Structure 1
Amino acid sequence: MPLTDLTLAECLALRPDLEEPADLDAFWDSTLDTARAHGTPPRYTLVDTGLVQVATYDAVLPGFAGEPVRGWLHLPADAREPLGCVVEFLGYGRGRGLAHEQVLWANAGYAHFIMDTRGQGWSTAAGDTPDTAPLAGSVPGFLTRGVENPRDHYYRRVFTDAVRCVEAVRAHPAVDPEKVVVTGVSQGGGIALAVAALTPGLAGVMPDVPFLCDIRRAVRVAGLPPYTEVAEYLSLHRDRTGTVLTTLSYLDAALLAARATAPALFSIAMMDEVCPPSTCFAAYHRYGGPKDLRVYEFNGHEGGGGHHRREQLTWVRELLTTPRPADADAPPTPHAPQLA
């Protein structure tokens, strides 16, 4: 698995000048204000998973346009007071899965919410989250769905779902709203960065090998899907390059990352052909809050795997038990990256 992108030294020195829409903030303010006007209350139903140390709830929360978004809320069974919470967004093509599958964070003593991704994954007995606005003209996949206009784009709906789910989870009586961390791998990492930018007051964000970053570069250098969906689309629609790339800039997590202020722990893999490391570094360098980084030099899109999950467990524990300094809003000084 050879290097297919810039070297680590080149990525560390990288400071890309990304093209940002002039109305990016207005676009997202309007989108979220419209979504918040739909006041459907959340629903949480206890389910029997067969596990005795974790209580799991089938959650139905309001998302884009008030549409129902499903998820699992896991709580330590003996929890008696509001907990720190990890909100997790999933990788490309994945749904929330079965209720008993992902309980590590609850076993570590945190509340854990897993958001189902609209239109992705497979149905469970409790149902899934359909995408209500399938648009014709896209190549297979999600990245070109609605790509002619940012208001129609699939990820406008997904990012809005994610922000609204975080807002709902923060209001849950078992969750301490000041101790909510968002995380995700690949697509989930890109969503987490967008949520960190669009949701003030988060405790932290952990994007792993994040997708949807520096998309203009990614669609030109990525060797494997999903970014190749855009290249395929533009190979068919040769006259739409400007329109398509402008639309995608409204969903670019590297652009949005500059607006985030919560502490962040990134992971980047240097042999990643799915999310090229230079694109992940674009988000890391532009990130607006305090930030730390773990680099996995000899890994592809699998990233740090269990080794990085151990890093995250330590980072979250220290983050949520250390008092926030009075100068937390001062310009951040990034840590030197740790190589694995």
Structure 2
Amino acid sequence: MRGITSCRPREGTIDLLTDLSEDQLATYRSTQTAPDGFDEFWAETLAEAAKHDIDVRLSEVETGLETISTYDVRFRGFSGQEVAAWLRVPAHATGPLPAVVQYVGYGGGRGHALENLLWASAGFAHLQMDTRGQGSGWSLGVTADEAPAQPQVPGVMTRGILDPATYYYRRMFTDAVRAVDAARSLDTVDSSRVAVVGGSQGGGNALAVAGLRSDLAAVVAFVPFLSDFPRALRVTESYPYKEIIDYLVVHRPDVEAVHRTLQFFDGVNFAARATAPALFSAALRDTVCPPSTVFGSFHEYGGEKEIEVWPYNGHEGGGIFDEERALRFLRGRLGDA
């Protein structure tokens, strides 16, 4: 563990925080625990998914770009259901290349083929997974969430939340694990040099995959969502966490069942099982993913780890500076193409 990197406020400035101070974050520990059967639940879930051939299908997309080749990708995720992605690779690359598998923030999908060109421009094979049932909040998506309809608050946070077997994130996290399988199956990818990357919900996905796989070269989780649910539901009134609060306002008898389900999907519990080197980021004015929730997972993370802290920022975190830091980090862990 390399510790905490922070752009600290100048001495004497007023530090208006929305959560704990940096000193408190350094010693904070989550109260979340792994439920009985956690490992068995996920082993069975992934074993069921593995019964379906990954069935990766590529179709080149004409984008007009000269330096990047882009492919529409389809593969089989949870229960063999079709999941979309983009694959972007440096044009005329001979491979095999180090690969970045990227997951998307809440409400977003894989976006447009001309978006998100950083990783391929840097020489990586870049697989950007679509997000089932989302992709209409702020970026395009095409993947359906094939699941029985149940009462829920608008959004996906409470979809199937009364049982781990039916909860939305069981399907999404399984898709995320299978996206790594899809990337590793490609001739253009060096299967020994695959990293996962994401911010917010995408960071939560990255932590889940890190806890469920032992073959990752690196993990990057910017201001990760879906971490330390017990803390998040006490300290923030921001969405998407507030979807769960809104649900429990109405479904008063279901508090225990909801919290039990969330134990199976908490980044804290995945982090404790992870071993790949990881880079986190947190922002001290983040009301969407409060920094204490990020540190809840960071402190439990089982592999080598470091974290960037942004004292003046909200949920945007370090923005382009996070990406710049991640590029250096992944170059060090994955090497050049």
Q: Which residue of 2 aligns with 1:292?
A: 306
Per-residue deviation at 1:239? 1.3
Query: Which sections of structure 2, spanning at least 5 residues, go unmatched?
Result: 1-14
Say which SS state the counterpart of residue 152 (structure 1) adopts.
Answer: coil
Per-residue deviation at 1:137? 1.1
Per-residue deviation at 1:223? 2.5
Q: Which residue of 2 aligns with 1:160?
A: 174
Query: Which sections of structure 1, spanning at least 5 residues, go unmatched?
Result: 323-340
1:263-278 equivalences under 5 Å are 263-278=277-292
1:235 aligned onto 2:249 = yes
Per-residue deviation at 1:38? 1.0
Q: Which residue of 1 aligns with 2:86?
A: 72
1:46 aligned onto 2:68 = no
Q: Which residue of 2 aligns with 1:314?
A: 328
Q: Which residue of 2 aligns with 1:18?
A: 32
1:91-240 equivalences under 5 Å are 91-122=105-136, 128-240=142-254
One-letter amino acid matched to 1:288: G
Judge conservation of contact 2:131–2:141 (CA < 8 Å) in 1. no
Q: Which residue of 2 aligns with 1:82?
A: 96
Say which SS state the counterpart of residue 52 (structure 1) adopts.
Answer: coil
How many residues were matched structurally?
A: 320
Per-residue deviation at 1:134? 4.6
Per-residue deviation at 1:136? 2.0
Distance 1:64 1:318 in 2: 32
Judge conservation of contact 1:97–1:122 (CA < 8 Å) in 2. no
Q: Name the TM-score, length of structure 2 as normaliser.
A: 0.92
Q: Which residue of 2 aligns with 1:337?
A: none
Per-residue deviation at 1:17? 3.2
Cα RMSD of the aligned pairs, angstroms, is: 1.5
1:63 aligned onto 2:77 = yes
Judge conservation of contact 1:220–1:231 (CA < 8 Å) in 2. no
Q: Deviations over 1:253-296 (max 9, x none)?
A: 11111111000000011110000110000000000100011000
Moved over 6 A (4+): none
Per-residue deviation at 1:40? 4.6
Bigger mean CA offset, 3-12 vs 298-307 = 3-12
Q: Name the TM-score, length of structure 1 as normaliser.
A: 0.92
Per-residue deviation at 1:208? 0.4
- Identity within the alignment, %: 49
- Between the two structures, name the one with larger relative contact order (CA 8 Å, sep ≥ 6): 2
Q: Which residue of 1 aligns with 2:263?
A: 249
Per-residue deviation at 1:6? 1.1
One-letter amino acid matched to 2:83: V
Q: Deviations over 1:77-125 (max 9, x none)?
A: 02112000111000000011111111110000000010000001149xx
Distance 1:15 1:220 in 2: 15
Q: Deviations over 1:226-273 (max 9, x none)?
A: 000111111111111111010011011111111110000000111100
Q: Deviations over 1:38-97 (max 9, x none)?
A: 115110110101111000010001100011100000000021120001110000000111
Q: Which residue of 2 aligns with 1:326?
A: none
Per-residue deviation at 1:26? 0.2
Distance 1:81 1:19 in 2: 42
